[in-house]
Amino acid sequence: MPDAVVVSRARRSHARAALVLAALLLATTGTSASEGRAADAPAAAGAGSGAVAGVGTGLGAPGGVQHAQIPLYQQAVSVLPDGARGEVPADAVAVYLPGTRVPDPAAAVLAAALGSTPTTTTPLGPAAAAHAADEQLSWLAAGDVPGQGGPHEELARAALLDLHSLTVADGVVVAGWSESWRYVWPRDSSFVAVALARTGHVDDALDVLDFLERVQAPDGSFEARYLPDGSGPPDGRGVQTDGTGWAMWSAGLVLAEVDDARRPEVARRLAPLVERSAGHALQLVAGGLPPASPDYWEVAESDVTLGTAAPLVAGLEQAAVVLAAAGRPAPAAAAAAGAAAARQAVVDAFAPTGYGRYTTRALPDAASAFVLAPFWGQAPVDGAAAWRASVPSMLRPAAGLAPGAGWRRDGVSWTPQTTLYAWVAAEQGDVAAAARWLDVVDAHRTPSGAIPEKLLADGAPAAVAPLGWSAACVLLAIDALDARRATA
């Protein structure tokens, strides 16, 4: 997750030119940027900082600490004919065929002719572009858009477009499109699979888990990330233990969305992934807590973190469900017993620190969410209070969250954690809190409507966009809110 801090800001003159071009494009093509956000983009850029009313300028923090200035690497991923994907530059006035991430060919030609940055420089024929748009619209129609008729329907639709745009092959969903993100993280893919399943794309979710099964090591472990072709890791980051837990957890939640008639067959399909993962997890927690490992912070650790230990509990609980449904009672029983023992070890070790990052000191962390629903089947008695108490130390100027109290205080909000808290709040029945976290992300998307990885102190979207993990949590949060309203 750490990245270099650099400075990048659009000039006012460029923003005014972009506003003129946007008007020309809209008048000429009759189309608009995806999700209707193009008209908002030039105004934000024209402010010189992406500032939003009531939010700070991002130029400095109290006590002389400088707020980070990070560019927006791209504003979206475009869908091109024949399954290709392309970067949409941050300074483009992006115009798509309605309801899609497929660039409008006429608008791209006009933008280039006027000397502005087009949505794509790939030559697109109208018929090929229309076919690509039809394919993306058909995919959307095959599932459900959560939040229909509510304030977050458009956000959910954008998140689905983000996930579809990041899917580069069957079951292969890259974390983002920037060079250093164009890989498959087991953690991110696990969340994406659950989001796909809960929005009616169960077969796509199963394809994601099939990919994880193909790249998993024989001992049940996972590398930090993988090349999209499944040939192995791109570098020497090494194993990250939480991936084993997330894969099992995801398999259980995906299975829960499968029709009863298909459930035994799908459980058997998932069993190799789950049984290998459970065997590895049981070895890791045989002595109580697992060994230290990097977790979602993506940094080396000498002490075990809650972000490693809690997902193993969640995963073993779901492994017991999947293996039982697959007709494997002995490994299912072993997974259930291991989950119970590991759960107690985590409670004993982390409860005294308020479910903070480490067992040795009280340092609030976003991983406190991982001991609650939808992760653990039964939350610790003090888990919800600890999770709520983590917010003040993680809150950042744009009203989003940092990964933890120990994260650098650079003013940057991270959308994976902000949207994670939206989902967990919805699952706890805190509708107001879930809506607040969703509103933060909704208000600070890219000009194309994509969900970025980061929000600067002034609310400007920054770094990679879209980010699959954040898009998944957005969909899951809105889906959970739908479920709450349906039972209210």
Secondary structure class of 79 (helix, strand, coil): strand
214 class by beta-carbon count within 10 Å (0-12 exposed, 13-18 middle, 19+ buried):
exposed
Whose CA is closest to 58, among 373, 460, 482, 370? 460
Position 352 in a domain: yes
What's the rounded Cα separation, in Å, for the pair 77 and 35? 14
Secondary structure class of 306 (helix, strand, coil): helix
Secondary structure class of 86 (helix, strand, coil): strand
What global pTM score does this model have? 0.89
Read off φ and ψ for residue 454, nearest 5 degrees: -130, 155
Position 197 in a domain: yes
Task: Write the CATH number for 223.
Answer: 1.50.10.10
Query: CA distances (Å), 55 to each of 39, 253, 452, 459, in order?
Result: 21, 38, 18, 7
Domain extent, residue 187, equals: 174-386
What's the rounded Cα separation, in Å, for the pair 319 and 208? 17
Position 126 in a domain: no
Q: What is the pLDDT of residue 6?
A: 29
Position 158 in a domain: no
The residue to which tokens 């959560």 are assigned: 146
Amino acid at 215: V
Q: What is the pLDDT of residue 487?
A: 84
Position 36 in a domain: no
Count the neighbouring beta carbons within 10 Å of the beta carbon of residue 2: 9
How many separate domains does the chain show? 1
Whose CA is closest to 177, among 400, 471, 444? 471
Regions of the chain short of the pLDDT cut 50: 2-20, 22, 24-61
As given in the structure block, the two tokens for residue 169 are 């092959």
What's the rounded Cα separation, in Å, for the pair 477 and 147? 10
Counting every residue, how long is the chain?
488
Position 111 in a domain: no
Whose CA is closest to 248, among 284, 203, 280, 289? 280
Position 318 in a domain: yes
The residue to which tokens 């194993």 are assigned: 239
Position 43 in a domain: no
Residue 363 CA, chain-centre distance (Å), reads 24
Q: What is the pLDDT of residue 485?
A: 87
Q: Is the dihedral of CA 204, 209, 213, 217 positive or negative?
A: positive
